């Protein structure tokens, strides 16, 4: 197996010329994205679509943005990442439809051996991260390697997600824990707020 194949499989690997070339490609594309202007909206979208492994028709990433490779980031329709997002995509980062990241959300797939001798030898590994549909990740949240977050989840700001989070819940904290389920009462409340807002705009 090549070092890249080892990396993507979650096994210990070292940097290689192939990986360094892909790393430099990502550095170039993120530099172009991060130095683009607010008037270059279409250019920004094109750069993100070139950088990521897959996107939906609509994707928006507020600069500055940083990643290791970009090609292991797969996002669905209507993905939005606010300022200062960092995604370390040594392994796949798979994100569903209608997902929003607050500012300074960090997603890490990269890991390093606990044993110092092995770590000092330049070996590292990765574990994939999966985020479902209709998820809102609050600002300053860190998502650690190997985590899966279900559908229709809200992660409170400042959380450190170290374990899987099931669907249809609000979770927060360090370490991040489920606080409560998202209920029909939540839906009714927010649909009423939407109705009142629209009526106010029509007056």
Catalytic residues: 112
Nearest to 131 by CA among 143, 148, 145: 148
Positions of E strands within 79-176: 79-81, 85-88, 93-95, 99-101, 106-108, 110-111, 125-126, 129-131, 136-137, 142-143, 148-149, 154-155, 160-161, 169-172
**Separation of alpha carbons 81 and 37, rounded Å:** 17
Q: Which residue has the tokens 């106010």?
A: 200
> What would the two tokens of residue 203 be?
């007056």
> What would the two tokens of residue 58 be?
């609509």
**All residues at 6 or more sequence positions from 102 whose CB lies less than 8 Å from its CB, including other chains:** 82, 136, 137, 138, 139, 140, 141, 157
For residue 71, the Cα-to-chain-centroid distance in whole angstroms is 13
**Separation of alpha carbons 41 and 61, rounded Å:** 10
């Amino acid at each position: 197996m090549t070092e890249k194949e080892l990396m993507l499989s979650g096994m210990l690997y070292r940097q290689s010329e192939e990986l360094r070339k892909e790393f430099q490609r990502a550095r170039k594309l993120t530099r172009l994205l991060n130095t683009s202007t607010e008037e270059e909206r279409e250019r920004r979208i094109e750069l993100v679509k070139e950088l990521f492994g897959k996107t939906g028709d609509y994707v928006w990433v507020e600069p500055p943005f940083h990643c290791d490779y970009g090609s292991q980031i797969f996002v669905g329709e209507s993905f939005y990442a606010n300022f200062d997002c960092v995604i370390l995509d040594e392994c796949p980062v798979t994100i569903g439809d209608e997902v929003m990241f607050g500012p300074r959300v960090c997603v890490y797939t990269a890991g390093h051996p606990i044993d110092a001798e092995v770590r000092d030898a330049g070996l590292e590994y990765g574990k994939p991260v999966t985020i479902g549909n209709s998820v809102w990740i609050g600002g300053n949240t860190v998502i650690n390697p190997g985590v899966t977050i279900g559908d229709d989840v809200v992660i409170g700001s400042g959380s450190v997600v170290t374990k899987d989070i099931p669907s249809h819940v609000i979770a927060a904290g360090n370490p991040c824990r489920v606080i409560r389920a998202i209920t029909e009462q939540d839906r009714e409340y927010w649909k009423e707020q939407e109705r009142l807002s629209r009526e106010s705009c029509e007056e």
